[in-house]
Structure 1
Amino acid sequence: MTFFRPVMIAALACALTGCGHSKPAPDLSPKGGYPKTSSDWRTPVAHITALEVAPTTTGAIVTARGLPPTQGYWGTALIPENDGQPVDGVITYRFVLAKPPVGSPDSQRVGNPPSREVTAGAFINAIRFAQTKQVVVIGADGSRTAHR
């Protein structure tokens, strides 16, 4: 037992020497904070052709169809405004998509409207949907509204 006590003291001393004191890192952010920027680089769809809101047992599915000016658009999404919270009973989305590469064959191919049509969707949970009277989807040339 006499051997055990010095070994424990030595082990404890070694362990405690690794514990140092830390100080807070300096604040390197610019005065006034960082500028608020949108990280979404996509553009609004040129024209919204249809909007549907389909109730489900857990909320609702919002589906919007749009028409870009040429072929090759991709990465469609309905981006919620106000973090998807209804404002005065209205949930608003921006219908965005990514442009085809400049000079690519798709960016120059117009084709007929049905061949260019794109679709985007979003889900509204039951709690938010219960507070919603209408859904608005905004595109480049205007918006579409669906009433409950």
Structure 2
Amino acid sequence: MIAGLVALTGCGLGQSRLNPVNWFGSSTSEAVAEARAETSQPVIDQVLSLEVAATPSGAIISTVGLPPTQGFWEAELVRMPTDDPSVALFDFRILPPINPRPAGTQPSREVLAGTILSTQDLAGIRTIAVQGARNRRSVRR
């Protein structure tokens, strides 16, 4: 009984690592230095933000990306293989506009993408990263 009370008290602390809401902190950005393999679908130019929200059954990953012009569509996060089993790496893929479009303002170009990971998917995962052509954003727990 005392152990349960201590565990519940730990979950209630704002910054406790025992609290599942705090498993993933704010994201950090780093430049992508290595050459990227060509895919049938291009990746977003820049990843602006990455958030991971804990749910009872896993986590929701949501990202905002910035393509070079307006009109990009069909955004998706595609999980990529990695050598490190503690990292879940995603490509932020997107299709270009059918007809050329103006660059426009940054808010008019921003594109959202997301995915869901189950608790089984998160087993052993310490870092979630989403990469575009010029940068990668990651969160750690």
TM-score, reference length from structure 2: 0.68
Alpha-carbon contact 1:86-1:132 (below 8 Å) kept: no
Which among 114, 118, 131 is matched to residue 124 of structure 2? 131
Indicate the residue corresponding to 1:23 in structure 2: none
Alpha-carbon contact 2:71-2:101 (below 8 Å) kept: no
Gaps of 5+ in 2: 1-37
RMSD of Structure 2 on Structure 1 (CA): 1.8
Query: Going by fraction, where is helix more abundant, 1 or 2?
Result: 1
Structure 1 segments of 4+ aligned residues over 2 angstroms from their partners: 85-88
1:41 Cα offset (Å): 2.5
Alignment of 1:110 with 2:86, yes or no, is: no
Alpha-carbon contact 1:136-1:143 (below 8 Å) kept: yes
Which among 132, 143, 147 is matched to residue 140 of structure 2? 147
Name the structure, 1 or 2, with higher relative contact order (CA <8 Å, separation 6+). 2
**Partner SS state of residue 120, structure 2:** helix
1:108 Cα offset (Å): 2.8
CA distance in 2, matches of 1:79, 1:146: 17
* Cα deviations by residue, 1:14-61 (Å, 9 ceiling, x for unpaired): xxxxxxxxxxxxxxxxxxxxxxxx8x6220100110000111000001
Give the number of aligned pairs.
Answer: 104
Alpha-carbon contact 1:67-1:116 (below 8 Å) kept: yes
CA distance in 2, matches of 1:79, 1:88: 16
TM-score, reference length from structure 1: 0.65
Indicate the residue corresponding to 2:47 in structure 1: 48
1:140 Cα offset (Å): 0.3
